């Protein structure tokens, strides 16, 4: 496939990586990956197993939803294959992708939203050339299905992580009638297995209320090419595919369950720039994707996080004193999952936030971590912990300047970029600006108070040696 993108424009932008996709299919699809820096071409087979999309409310499969799916898969492939180090200049990535509706995806308004979204989420610059798809759609697109029962159903992302588990349990117990469609994806078998395992733990407790839809993405070939470990678009891809699932279920809202501290993910300190500051589920990311999907579908679509103003510990409190607390150890939070047991390190920022939440909610943590149950790590395990303590100390100092909420907010926003979240997201949350500020202030006050209770406990193994290991 030859890109029709203006060559003059391409030369001006000095593209680092080009991805030229064949038509994305259930089999025999591929992408030619060109690393312009190394003058190297690699062909990687990429396929999508979307047969589970046949279980849907809509009888016909909208072609724009198929294009949304293909776009997500293309971004996922580029994000995995293009190395994007935090400490180097931003990379420039060109994607050439055949779609069913190039007239929609090539519109300036859509491409601007898409390229701005990915720039915001990844730090790289993305460019797209959408061409006309030349072969029929995938099998699931051509199958007219009988509509499933359109019961009251909430479609939510399902990772098998602690927030997803705790959030779903809270939603199930607070609304005893609602059904839930859980959507999972990924490109490895372990992610799929984890999603199924945590799902099956909940199923017997809430019979006939849960369904799981998984759409795996598979790579074959290109083994000699080093995969990018610092994927930044993973959340965007997950949300796009989840949006497709929700729309096929007749819903105009996709839910996800993520605590507010992790979702907003404020920087720890200046020296820690680039250290686990993902914007995967940031409120502004959700807003941007909502606007992007709405334009493609031609109608309003929203991404909602009902736990934006909850700490992770507050989410976990619903599990305390219930048999479900034993399932916590099955869930995964680690940013750097290990192939061998234990699979979670216990000292990355996600693991520390997990351990902080479990301790603050008075639940016994039965999870095995490398830091407590495995071989001592080669790298210094206290780096993330010290950075998080520094951030908590900064929050505490800023909130203690006054008892006046207006002054507290003023000092907090002089240090951290929260005003933009309030200004742009308050309406989406059905809140006034004053109410939104109030909720965010309470979020950080609660978080600081939680740390005061558990800091010494978490220091064991990170700042102080364990007295014994089990």
pLDDT at 159 over 90: yes
**C-alpha distances out from residue 199 to 4, 157, 221, 376, Å:** 45, 12, 31, 32
* Report for 183-197, 279-293, 371-385: range of highest mean pLDDT: 279-293
* Domain-located, residue 3: no
What is the band of 376 on the pLDDT scale with cuts at 50, 70, 90? confident
Q: Which domain holds residue 105?
A: 14-141
The stretch 327-342 carries a mean pLDDT of 84
Residue 123 shares a structural domain with residue 158:
no
* Domain-located, residue 454: yes
Any alpha helices (H) in 312-432, and if so which ranges?
312-316, 349-360, 370-373, 383-399, 405-415, 419-425
Give the residue from 74, 98, 72 showing the smallest Cα distance to 17.
Answer: 74
CATH number for 109: 3.30.70
What is the band of 207 on the pLDDT scale with cuts at 50, 70, 90? very high
Considering 87, 109, 141, which residue would you say is the last residue of a domain?
141
Handedness of CA 76, 78, 80, 83 (dihedral sign): negative
What is the band of 232 on the pLDDT scale with cuts at 50, 70, 90? confident
Do β-strands 153-157 and 125-132 pair in parallel, antiparallel, or remain unpaired?
unpaired
Q: In what order do the strands lie in the sheet with 302-304?
A: 125-132, 92-99, 17-21, 30-35, 40-48, 210-220, 179-186, 153-157, 253-255, 302-304
Write down the pLDDT at residue 468: 46
**C-alpha distances out from residue 176 to 151, 325, 399, Å:** 13, 20, 38
Integer Cα distance of 72 and 53 in angstroms: 15
Write down the pLDDT at residue 221: 67
Integer Cα distance of 417 and 80 in angstroms: 29
Residue 157 shares a structural domain with residue 137:
no
**Length of the chain, in residues:** 470
CA 7 from chain center: how many Å? Answer: 34
pLDDT at 150 over 80: no
The stretch 78-90 carries a mean pLDDT of 78
Do β-strands 17-21 and 30-35 pair in parallel, antiparallel, or remain unpaired?
antiparallel
User: Do 311 and 354 form a contact (C-beta atoms < 8 A)?
Assistant: no
Return mean pLDDT, the chain: 90
**Which two structure tokens, joined as six digits, stand for 258?**
């993520």
Residue 130 shares a structural domain with residue 192:
no
* Domain-located, residue 7: no
Write down the pLDDT at residue 1: 54
Write down the pLDDT at residue 469: 42
Q: Which residues share a beta bridge with 96?
A: 20, 129
Residue 373 shares a structural domain with residue 253:
yes
Integer Cα distance of 386 and 362 in angstroms: 23
- The structure's pTM equals 0.93
Residue 166 shares a structural domain with residue 134:
no
What is the band of 343 on the pLDDT scale with cuts at 50, 70, 90? confident
Residue 122 shares a structural domain with residue 208:
no
* Domain-located, residue 236: yes
Write down the pLDDT at residue 14: 86
* Domain-located, residue 260: yes
* Domain-located, residue 8: no
The burial of 406, by beta-carbon neighbours within 10 Å (0-12 exposed, 13-18 middle, 19 or more buried), is given as: exposed
Residue 61 shares a structural domain with residue 174:
no
Residue 86 shares a structural domain with residue 176:
no
Residue 97 shares a structural domain with residue 245:
no
pLDDT at 276 over 80: no
The stretch 398-408 carries a mean pLDDT of 97
Give the DSSP H/E element, type plus range, for residue 2.
none
Give the residue from 171, 149, 194 showing the smallest Cα distance to 256.
Answer: 171
Integer Cα distance of 24 and 258 in angstroms: 31
E-assigned strand segments in 158-276: 179-186, 210-220, 253-255
pLDDT at 63 over 90: yes
Residue 64 shares a structural domain with residue 195:
no
* Domain-located, residue 57: yes
* pLDDT tens-digit series, residues 122-131: 999 999 999 9
Q: Which of the residue ranges 71-80, 123-132, 371-380 would you say has the lowest mean pLDDT? A: 371-380
* pLDDT tens-digit series, residues 296-331: 999 999 999 999 999 999 999 999 989 999 999 999
Considering 107, 141, 175, which residue would you say is the last residue of a domain?
141
* Domain-located, residue 72: yes
3-state secondary structure of 298: coil
The stretch 7-24 carries a mean pLDDT of 76
CATH number for 163: 3.40.50.620
Q: Which of the residue ranges 2-6, 109-113, 317-321, 412-416 would you say has the lowest mean pLDDT? A: 2-6
What is the band of 336 on the pLDDT scale with cuts at 50, 70, 90? confident
Integer Cα distance of 244 and 158 in angstroms: 14
Overall number of domains in the chain: 2
Residue 116 shares a structural domain with residue 158:
no
Residue 163 shares a structural domain with residue 242:
yes
Please name the residue that has the structure tokens 């309406």.
Answer: 427
Integer Cα distance of 213 and 242 in angstroms: 10
Describe the crossing of helices 162-174 and 189-202 by its angle, rounded to 10 degrees.
30
More confident residue, 272 or 420: 420
Write down the pLDDT at residue 144: 74
User: Do 84 and 6 form a contact (C-beta atoms < 8 A)?
Assistant: no
Integer Cα distance of 47 and 26 in angstroms: 5
Do β-strands 153-157 and 40-48 pair in parallel, antiparallel, or remain unpaired?
unpaired
Considering 141, 176, 211, which residue would you say is the last residue of a domain?
141
């Amino acid at each position: 496939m030859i890109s029709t993108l203006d060559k003059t424009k391409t030369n001006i932008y000095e593209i680092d990586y080009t991805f030229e996709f064949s038509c994305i299919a259930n089999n025999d699809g591929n992408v030619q990956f060109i690393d312009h820096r190394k003058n190297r071409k690699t062909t990687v087979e990429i396929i999508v197993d979307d047969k589970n999309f046949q279980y849907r409310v809509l009888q016909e499969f909208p072609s724009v939803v198929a294009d949304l799916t293909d776009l997500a898969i293309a971004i996922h492939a580029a994000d995995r294959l293009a190395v994007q180090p935090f400490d180097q200049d931003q990379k420039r990535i060109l994607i050439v992708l055949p779609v069913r509706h190039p007239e929609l995806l090539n519109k300036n308004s859509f491409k601007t939203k898409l390229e701005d979204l990915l720039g915001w989420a990844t730090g790289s610059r993305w460019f797209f050339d959408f061409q006309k798809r030349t072969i029929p759609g995938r099998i699931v697109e051509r199958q007219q299905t009988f509509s499933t029962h359109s019961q009251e159903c909430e479609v939510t992302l399902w990772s098998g992580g602690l927030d997803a588990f705790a959030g779903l349990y809270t939603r199930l117990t607070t609304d005893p009638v609602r059904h839930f469609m859980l959507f999972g994806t990924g490109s490895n078998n372990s992610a799929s297995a984890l999603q199924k395992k945590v799902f099956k733990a909940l199923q017997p407790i809430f019979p006939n209320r849960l369904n799981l839809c998984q759409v795996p993405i598979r790579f074959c070939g290109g083994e000699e090419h080093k995969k990018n470990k610092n994927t930044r678009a993973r959340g965007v891809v997950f949300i796009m595919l989840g949006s497709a699932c929700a729309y096929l279920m007749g819903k105009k809202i996709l839910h996800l369950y993520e605590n507010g501290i992790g979702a907003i993910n404020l920087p720890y300190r200046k020296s820690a720039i680039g250290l686990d500051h993902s914007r995967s589920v940031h409120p502004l990311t959700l807003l941007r994707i909502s606007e992007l999907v709405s334009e493609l579908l031609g109608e309003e679509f929203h991404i909602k996080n009902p736990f934006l103003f909850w700490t992770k510990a507050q989410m976990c409190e619903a599990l305390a004193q219930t048999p479900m607390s034993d399932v916590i150890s099955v869930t995964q939070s680690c940013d750097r999952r290990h192939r061998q047991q234990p699979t979670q390190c216990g000292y990355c920022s996600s693991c520390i936030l997990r351990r902080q939440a479990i301790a603050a909610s008075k639940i016994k943590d039965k999870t095995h971590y490398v830091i407590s149950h495995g071989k001592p790590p080669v790298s210094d395990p206290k780096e993330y912990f010290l950075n998080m303590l520094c951030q908590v100390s900064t929050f505490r100092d800023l909130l203690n300047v006054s008892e006046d909420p207006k002054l507290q907010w003023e000092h907090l926003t002089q240090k951290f970029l929260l005003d933009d979240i309030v200004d742009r997201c308050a309406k989406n949350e059905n809140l006034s600006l004053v109410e939104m500020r109030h909720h965010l202030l309470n979020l950080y006050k609660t978080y600081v108070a939680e740390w005061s209770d558990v800091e010494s406990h978490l220091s064991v193994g990170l700042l102080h040696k364990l007295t014994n290991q089990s």
